[in-house]
Amino acid sequence: MSSLPTRAVPLWGTVALTALTPLAWGSTYAVTTEFLPPDRPLFTALMRALPAGLVLLAVARTLPKGVWIWRAAVLGVLNIGAFFPLLFLAAYRLPGGVAAVLGAAGPLFALGFAAAWLAEPPTRRKVLAGLAGVLGVSLVVLRANAALDAAGIAAGVAGSAAMAAGTVLAKRWGRPAGAGPAAIAAWQLTAGGLLLLPVAFLVEGAPPVLDGQAVLGYAYLGVVGTAVAYWIWFRGISRLPATSVSFLALLSPLSAAIIGWAALGQSLSPLQVLGMAIALGGTFLGQTPARPGAPPRPGQPAVTSPEEVVVSPKKVRV
């Protein structure tokens, strides 16, 4: 009847709104380097995840029940508790943007998991889009003096795989009745934050003393870069194919590079601009409209937090 045109109209509007999340994540590098205490990646990850999760829990007023208790824990580990530390480890051990390149391979992992768990064979178009994304991000962030480290590479690959697995598992499991995007985000952020809590204290010790700038920086990351951003992200995944949403994560390192150029006075070469164009092309190519006549199930899933990491030899971009 009239369902087809009404579904087709808001599709790209939903894509555009969801894309605001990785664009916001791209500002994390500037905030981290300009406002936050140095060399505290696990504490920063904890401060982003747990407070935001608790705030969203208070907003959603919904707790996981039954099978969703362990499902929320698994997704929280994959998407937050394991994903953040693995990417930070890769960022510190792989200078020159190698970690960002490994992160850009996330859509390719998602295509593989979707084929195995969702019976969605990867199309040539999406494989090409994934390869274009890796190439584009490589041109933006990779440097000639990039060093390779076995542990760093393993962490980067594992982080991308964890993100992709969380994306596809969330799609497979769907969402329980009565739980909206805020609740799904709250469960995962809280579970991941609780996992990070002992790890951060064991590895980095007591929390640092925070000045006014640090408090402001953490407030921005917690509210804008995490609570609001993940809420929008999970709303998007409930309305779009999971593999399509995964390609939007390529916008994060591009956003970081543009903010670094505009706000921090960093250079932006013609080769990097070319890389941005290629990565943007891969992002658009990876968007596949939902099939006509196959509306999304009620309560479609939460998805992972595919935030990219961009590194320079001495600084971390998240």
Q: Is residue 50 situated within a structural domain?
A: yes
Q: Is residue 1 situated within a structural domain?
A: no
Q: Is residue 38 situated within a structural domain?
A: yes
Selection from 254, 237, 217 nearest residue 297 by Cα: 237
Q: Is residue 103 situated within a structural domain?
A: yes
The sign of the CA dihedral 20, 26, 28, 34 is negative
Q: What is the pLDDT along the chain (318 residues), one digit of tens a residue?
A: 433 444 444 588 899 999 999 899 888 878 887 898 888 888 988 999 999 999 999 999 999 999 999 999 999 999 899 987 887 777 667 655 677 778 888 999 999 999 999 888 899 999 999 999 999 998 988 776 666 778 888 988 898 899 889 878 888 888 898 899 999 999 999 999 999 999 999 999 999 999 999 999 999 999 999 999 999 988 888 888 888 888 998 898 888 888 888 887 878 889 989 999 999 999 999 986 544 434 444 444 444 444 433 334 344 444
- Predicted pLDDT at 9: 40
The number of domains in the chain is 1
Helices (H), 26-82: 28-35, 41-60, 67-76
- Give the CA distances from residue 88 to residues 66, 131, 235, 281, 315, in Å, rounded to whole numbers and listed in that order: 33, 23, 26, 27, 11
Q: Is residue 202 situated within a structural domain?
A: yes
pTM: 0.82
- Predicted pLDDT at 101: 79
Q: Is residue 41 situated within a structural domain?
A: yes
Residue with tokens 């994304």: 133
Q: Is residue 215 situated within a structural domain?
A: yes
CA 290 to chain CA mean position, Å: 22
Q: Is residue 195 situated within a structural domain?
A: yes
User: What does the DSSP assignment read for 11-27?
Assistant: HHHHHHHHHHHHHHHTT
Domain that holds residue 192: 13-288+298-317
